[in-house]
Amino acid sequence: MARIFSGIQPTGHLHLGNYLGAIRNWVRLQQEFECLFCVVDMHAITLWQEPEALAQATRETAAAVLAAGINPDTNILFLQSAVPGHAQLAWVFNCVARIGWLNRMTQFKEKAGKHRENASVGLYAYPNLMAADILLYKATHVPVGEDQKQHLELTRDIAQKFNNDFGVALFPVVEPLILGPATRIMSLRDGTKKMSKSDASDFSRINLTDSADSIALKIRRAKTDPNPLPDSPDGLEGRPEAANLLSIYAALTDSSIENVCQRFGGSPFSDFKQELADRAVAALAPITAEVNRLMADPETLDSILRSGAERARALAAPVLDEVYRAIGFLQT
Ligand code: AMP
Ligand code: TRP
């Protein structure tokens, strides 16, 4: 049976890339599959987080997932740090994954930057913890944005090596689900850079908590080029900012880039941006309102997360047991 697992880091505000690249797909998948959605606070601390800000961002991230339409009764929504099995299995995977495998991870190189010697050991081992998140529940499908593909390949390698080393068929082969026309939303200031929580400029991204006015302003100020919009996707060659805005529009309206080109081909960016802003506000305003409502009621939010963690622990326990037996840890 298929089981979905996905995770999101509670670092700063969620943005349109998280919504279109990840959370919106989760909302659709919950109709068909058994799903676990995890706020990965242990991944967040691979980079420094102010404790109070981390706690606030953790609640806000959980609230955003609920506000986007995840049903916490039919799915499991929980915090990674509330289920010890993630750390326990991650340690096992630290001993399965090879240093050479981790050395190839491009996200570590990006995040560690020039000061690699000064990066946390956790940042380096991050993909092993991610593999543990998924495999602790023997999840089979993982909806993510493009940027996580390499980590999922590593998850497959770890699962396979564990199965081979111990002569078991314990872990499944994990499939990434990279869905929709917006698997990689780019910065509004630079079409070659990913839209990211950590970009210094707030004008680079649309946050799920932005007001309608601020969304409209950011889209009006978004970088473009002097040419009108093309009437087919071929005309987007070498125009990363135009390609990005069109794919955001396609995702928001559930249409294809072809259709959007047909509709706006020849128009100036100003007309298109007005419509794009209207669409973005229409999609995000109800989510923002619901996030604010949930944030005002932390007891309800915490009790949803507590119940999620309880159910996650119950699913994880027998898998960890099986892993420990396979390894030869004495069961006393
Ligand atoms: P993160 O914010 O890094 O925890 O990412 C949470 C989810 O959002 C993951 O599935 C990412 O692949 C996805 N995601 C993050 N940034 C973007 C982006 N700019 N475009 C599309 N998906 C994204
Ligand atoms: N690394 C992911 C990101 O930054 C978040 C994540 C952690 C995740 N564990 C996961 C995603 C397990 C999918 C499955 O986006």
Domain spans, the chain: 3-183+297-327, 210-293
pLDDT at 165: 98
Contact 232, 223 (CB under 8 A): no
Which ligand is the nearest neighbour of the Cα of 108? Answer: 2
**pTM (2 decimals)?**
0.92
Please identify every stretch of the chain with a pLDDT value under 50, giving residue numbers as ranges: none
pLDDT at 21: 86
Question: 34 vs 21, 102, 127, 224, CA distance in Å?
Answer: 20, 30, 24, 41
Q: How many residues does the chain have?
A: 332
The whole-angstrom separation of Cα 249 and Cα 206 is: 13
- Residues with beta carbon inside 6 Å of ligand 1? 8-9, 17-18, 21-22, 144-145, 147-148, 183-185, 194-195, 197
Give the CATH superfamily of 210-293.
Tyrosyl-Transfer RNA Synthetase (1.10.240.10)
How many CB atoms are closer than 10 A to CB 130?
25
- Residues with beta carbon inside 6 Å of ligand 2? 5-9, 40, 43, 130, 133-134, 142, 144, 148, 151
pLDDT at 212: 94
Pairing state of beta strands 3-8 and 34-39?
Answer: parallel
pLDDT at 146: 86
The whole-angstrom separation of Cα 213 and Cα 219 is: 10
Residue whose CA is at the smallest distance from ligand 1 atom 12? 145
pLDDT at 35: 97
pLDDT at 22: 87
Contact 185, 248 (CB under 8 A): yes
pLDDT at 246: 96
Assigned CATH topology for domain 3-183+297-327: Rossmann fold (3.40.50)
Residue whose CA is at the smallest distance from ligand 2 atom 3? 8
